[in-house]
Amino acid sequence: RLWDNLERIWSLCAESPADIVVTFEILEMYQEYITRRADQARQRAERLGSDPEAAYKLSYENITGEAHDRLKRKFDEKVESTFVLMQSAAVEGSGGASGGEQKDSQVTITLNAATQMLTLMSSFRHEIVPCVPESYAPMTLFLDALDNYLVPEILQLVDTSTSEGISSLDVGDVIQLIDWLEYYIGQMDIIDQNDRESIEKFTTIAEELLNEYLDRIKHQVMEWFTNIKNQTTEIVVNNDGTLFTAKPEDMFNVLHMQMAVATGRSWLCDYVVILYVLCMEVFLYFLTLFLCLSNSIYIYLIYPSIPTYLYCRKTPQGAFEGRGERVSVRPAGRAAVIV
């Protein structure tokens, strides 16, 4: 009956937690009885001139050790079965998407299941841990089971043993992975478990993914700017005679979108300046390409809200030099062309 209660620990803690508490109390008392009986057998063997240690081992039974092993096995089974169930449900949900909907990636499916496992961890902490004596270290047992299953699953998503590795992931998958890794690390910090080996592994992976993300964003912005540049230019004459096109606005919308993504995620806050510099490197590169069309030009930048006139001219050596002036109106007598 006692072992059966341990087998049903998840349901019992929800339905009748007192039964689990009593189960461990009985196990502890029975262990004390077994230990006293083994000590008496040792003392009796000493008096009779027999082997005391053999007598002790013959009478001793490690009840708490057996309970510990059963708990560990039960937690391992629970983690695996729950993860497989959650992953299967996510796959079925993705497979049921209509023709116009995009199916979830393997990263999304795995991380959704992994998030459910962290939810299970929270439930375990509040419902089961209070019912189990501290000597069994129930939280450590569960986290070991969780990491033994989750870590290989996450490492498989960012497998660096292949030629492609992280570079094979979509940008969206990279962002999802970093979000989840930061969430996992934060959850471990909440329960004061930030010295676990999984934290070190996940921190390293997060750093690799972040570097990949920054590099990927730079190339993505370069691609988007190239598409904008190659579009047919429609020049419009403003009421004050200023010539302008929509291309600069499109380019700044790209920059704004990337910065909005960065400021909306805690793990990117420390890298906003780096991301801004990367984006501006691309912007200045395309600005140079536009300037090749003219020896000198005023470029009117209307982002964010304060107009900026950027004057650039080509030097005799073929290089470009310039300066920016924040003003509210276009300087008198100066042509301003937005290209």
Q: What is the pLDDT of residues 124-137, one digit of tens each?
A: 888 888 888 888 88
The pLDDT of residue 320: 41
Higher pLDDT, 187 or 262: 187
Do residues 311 and 323 lie in contact, with contact meaning Cβ atoms separated by under 8 Å? yes
Residue 270 · residue 241 · CB < 8 Å: no
H helix and E strand count, the chain: 11, 5
Contact criterion met (CB below 8 Å) for 81 and 89: no
Q: Which helix (H) or strand (E) holds 31?
A: helix 17-48
| pLDDT score of 250 more than 60 | yes
Question: What's the first-to-final CA gap in the chain, in angstroms?
Answer: 81
pLDDT of residue 189 exceeding 50, the answer is yes
Q: What tokens were used for 251?
A: 């380019």
Buried b (16+ CB within 10 A) or exposed e, 24-45: beebeeebeebbeebeebbeeb
Beta strands in the chain (DSSP E): 236-237, 243-244, 296-301, 308-314, 320-326
Say if residues 160 and 201 touch (Cβ distance below 8 Å).
no
Higher-confidence residue: 243 or 144? 144
Which CA distances in Å does 291 have to 116, 234, 252? 54, 17, 17
Are 64 and 135 in contact by the 8 Å Cβ rule? The answer is yes
User: Can you give the pLDDT at residue 273?
Assistant: 60
Cβ-contact 220, 279 below 8 angstroms: no
Q: Which residues, 6 or more positions from 73, have their beta carbon under 8 angstroms from its beta carbon?
A: none
3: which 2 tokens? 């072992």
Question: How many angstroms separate the CA atoms of 309 and 313, rounded?
Answer: 13
Instruction: List beta partners, residue 320.
Output: 314
Tell me how crowded residue 87 is: count the other CB atoms within 10 A of its CB.
18
pLDDT band at 336 (very low <50, low <70, confident <90, very high): very low
Inform me whether the pLDDT recorded for 329 exceeds 50.
no
Q: Is 78 a residue whose pLDDT tops 60?
A: yes
Looking at the predicted structure, is the pLDDT value of residue 319 above 60? no
What pLDDT does residue 24 have? Answer: 86
**Residue 328 pLDDT exceeds 80:** no
**Tokens standing for residue 60:** 């001793």
The model's confidence at residue 144, banded by pLDDT at 50, 70 and 90, is: very high
Long-range contacts of 97-105 (CB under 8 A, 24+ apart): 105/170, 105/172, 105/173
Mean per-residue pLDDT of the chain = 75
Strands 243-244 and 296-301: unpaired
Q: How far apart are CA 42 and CA 57, in angstroms?
A: 9
Amino acid 220: pLDDT: 81
* Type of residue at 233: T
Tens-digit pLDDT profile for residues 215-240 = 887 888 888 878 877 877 777 777 77
SS3 266: helix
| Per-residue model confidence (pLDDT) at position 56 | 78
Q: Tally the C-alpha atoms within 13 A of residue 130's C-alpha that lie toward its C-beta.
A: 10
Identify the sign of the CA torsion 302, 307, 308, 311. positive
CB 279 within 8 A of CB 258: yes
Distance CA 326, CA 309 (A): 6
Pairing of strands 308-314, 320-326: antiparallel
Q: What is the residue type of 161?
A: S
Percent of the chain at pLDDT exceeding 70:
70
């189990």: which residue's tokens?
132
Whole-number pLDDT of residue 52: 83
